[in-house]
Amino acid sequence: MNATVQTDTGTVRGIVHPDRRVFQGIPYAAPPVGDLRWAPPQPARPWAGDRDATKPGSPAPQLKNAIADLAGTNEDCLFLNVTTPATASPEHRKPVMVWIHGDGAIGSGDQFDPTRLAVDGDVVVITFNFRLGVFGAFGYPGLRDSGTIGLQDQRAVLQWVQRNAAAFGGDPGNVTLFGVSYGATATSAHLMSKESRGLFHKVIMQSGFTLMDMPAGVVYPGIPALPWYGWTTTSAAEAQGAALAEQLGCKDLASLRAIPVDELLAVPQVMNIFQPYALGNDQLPADPAEALGAGEFADVPVLSGTTRDEHTTFVAFFRELAGSPVTATNYPELLQTAFGDEAARIGAEYPLQDYPTPALAWASVVTDRMWARAQLRQNQLLSAKNPLWFYEFADRGAPLDIPFPPGFRPGAWHAGDVQYVFRTDENAMTEAQVALSDTMIRYWATFARHGDPNGAGLPEWSRFTTPDTVLSLAPDAIHPVDYAQEHRLAFWTQIGV
């Protein structure tokens, strides 16, 4: 059975299921091709008649990879998807949840099935594609929007929601922006950006890296220490773009815009180099830590958290599978490269004999130093102004829906909590894990509805005030945890690296 909805650019025809309505492949901006490559998103072109909205639009250009091997990519990629409960209507509006997928070089919105969240949470869920890598965070001298194009795509979705959500039965006055990893960091960008104010009313950030630095070699072998893991500067983005132009034999932006997509993608590391969004421009502050410390962010409720074993995913993919495994021999060398004179003290605090493998010892070091320390600092700064609820996903037996190395034990891995909110394969979960998923969906949806995750029948979740008010989420084990103690943050403060 089909359903039609009138948007501000034309009528879309989706599919009616007994418990939901689904509309896919709706253009939210004009195709960013030709002269619109690296330009801010422009209004979508109106159409006549009913537009088929029964299948997703093309994903953004990206390289094939082990996690998201998507077919049919195209530079014409600015599409969104809407899933509503069956009871949603213009007269019975539901909260709207807008999801930014993780990773700035791969992925698409339709990878995530919002059925359970929309139906069980009684919310309208919107997923979407945005420009990635060299197409989304490219910089070039004189390009006003250097390093921020993908961010502006995301804002265009939020603007579309304001104009069109009511027609689908969503409440444009109750919008929650949420995302994971790169998507959570992008969510924090909108939280800080004055250009995005008023377009959302709550945020959820799952495993973001807003305030995270990167000690030498902790993610990729041979990479020097960086002040930011998730950001760059406008000048750096422009210098990288100028270097790319020289490499491709292009003398100006017009000639770069004429380079075929495949030729751009063939440049080594081009999608990774241009992942970070640029700071210090019309879109973003020069220093996120200063901005958060000064309270220069939107006054909205926040739900924010991490997974217990964040860095195992990165060790698995960028070391074990990349042919640079962590061993008992090179573990001290890794510590020395990353932490210099404090390497021996850190090795004594995280001795190899305490872990099943050297890889997991190294992952524990970096999870605590890089991920947990930054997350606690971020949430302390945000909670000084905004109501905030802090969680840690702690299911160390979470299903592995990405291809980890055989025998690798990632625990509560980075982004492993996403499948509990966007639940697709219940057969991969135990009964207790399905129950945890049900609880997390209720927490997320209740927060979206009321700005507080607490509700009837849910375990109490205290508002974050001190490190021991973090809620640990695991099967049959939902309880407060002392986050600073669990991640040895007093030790890291003491050694000062």
Segments making up each domain of the chain, as ranges: 2-234+266-495
Instruction: Tell me what pLDDT residue 185 has.
Output: 98
Computed over its alpha carbons, how large is the radius of gyration of the chain?
A: 22
Q: How many CB atoms lie within 10 A of CB 275?
A: 21
The first and second tokens of residue 117, run together, are 């969240």
User: Alpha-carbon torsion 345, 349, 354, 359, what sign?
Assistant: negative
Q: What is the pLDDT of residue 98?
A: 99
In this structure, which CATH number among 3.40.50.1000, 3.40.50.2300, 3.40.50.1820, 3.40.605.10 belongs to the domain 2-234+266-495? 3.40.50.1820
Q: How many CB atoms lie within 10 A of CB 395?
A: 25
Q: How far apart are CA 437 and CA 235, in angstroms?
A: 43
Active centre residues (catalytic):
181
Q: Which helix (H) or strand (E) holds 10?
A: strand 10-16
Query: For 214, which DSSP code?
Result: B
Specify the DSSP class assigned to residue 280: S
Which residue stretches of the chain have pLDDT < 50? none
DSSP 431-457: HHHHHHHHHHHHHHHHHHHHSS---TT
Closest by CA to 175, choosing from 204, 203, 205, 200, is 200
What residues contact 86, with CB distance under 8 A and at least 6 apart? 16, 17, 18, 19, 20, 21, 119
Position 1 scores a pLDDT of 67
Residue 133 confidence (pLDDT):
98
Strands 2-7 and 20-27 turn out to be unpaired
12/401 Cα distance (integer angstroms):
32
350-409 confidence digits (pLDDT tens): 999 999 999 999 999 999 999 999 999 999 999 999 999 999 999 999 999 899 999 999
Single out the residue of 111, 125, 141 nearest to residue 441, CA to CA: 125
Which pLDDT does position 361 carry in this prediction?
Answer: 99
